[in-house]
Structure 1
Amino acid sequence: MDIDYKINAPVSAQTFLDLLKGSTLGERRPINDLECITGMVNNSNLMISAWQGDTLVGIARSVTDFHYACYLSDLAVLTSHQRLGIGKHLQILTQQQLGPQCKLILLAAPAANEYYKHLGFEHNPRCWVLDRNQTLN
């Protein structure tokens, strides 16, 4: 299988949406909100994409300062292309774009929680999430 990896290549919101729908990540992303999906793509500052011909088969979408912290917002691979090393390669290419002190941070999907351990990630139980719909006291 010939996969072409690209750094910060243009990805349309619809192409990204199609990938999300074809991966397990679509269950936890706002796939019915094209405006939000468009904002997600347009405001990422590091995207590593995996292509088979003209088909987007995987993506690592991040927001980073490139020196201290990189939040890997989405690591998605089409279900038909999973277990082929694409996700691992996307993560490696992401790290290669970062400075030597930059930490790669992500929130694991429940089904993928164990996946990151074998890639060398360390589990950190100190993550907190505040949903926009929650009010601050």
Structure 2
Amino acid sequence: MKVVHVDYRINEKINVNQFYDLLVNSTLGERRPVDDVECLAGMLLNSNLTVSAWVEGKLVGLARSMTDFNYACYLSDLAVNRIYQNRGIGKQLQILTQAQLNKRCKLILISAPTANGYYDKIGFTNNPRCWVLERDSDISI
């Protein structure tokens, strides 16, 4: 495995094309709306904490979060280009995300089933109390 210098950046501007390329070249592309550019743009625009990884000016990793910085931080996307996986980039993105938060702030995420072992390895604990309401649910109030 070739040693490369990874440049980590906090809240660096990322354009939709860079985000798209990262998603389709990571395992997240199959679970994100990559065919909806407007949605991808909104995902970037409305994130209030990003930690990105760059190699030779190319985006190779991203931790994209929404947070209040004090109590809860939802890590919505943790993506690393397949070529750069297994080099500690994902773990470093998570560490740098935590470094931006108050020490009491919880880092929360929803894992793909195949990634459960990864999050356990980097210190997360499993919490079975997550609930998701899909937007197209037929629910009346």
Structure 1 gaps, min length 5 = none
Task: Give the deviation of 1:135 after TM superposition.
Answer: 1.9
Give the distance between the partners of 1:31 and 1:94, measured in 2 at CA.
Answer: 24
Secondary structure of 1:14 counterpart = helix
1:50 to 50, 53, 72: 53
Indicate the percent of aligned positions where both proteins have the same amino acid.
59
2:111 to 108, 113, 137: 108
Is 1:4 matched up with 2:7?
yes
Alignment of 1:114-129 (within 5 A): 114-129=117-132
- Distance between the aligned counterparts of 1:111 and 1:77, measured in 2? 15
Q: 3-state SS of the aligned residue for 1:136?
A: coil
1-structure distance, mates of 2:6, 2:47: 22
Matches within 5 A, 1:1-137: 1-137=4-140
Q: What is the SS of the residue equivalent to 1:129?
A: coil
TM-score using structure 1 length: 0.98
Matched pairs, number: 137
Segments of 4+ in structure 1 off by > 4 A?
none
SS in 1 for 2:60: strand
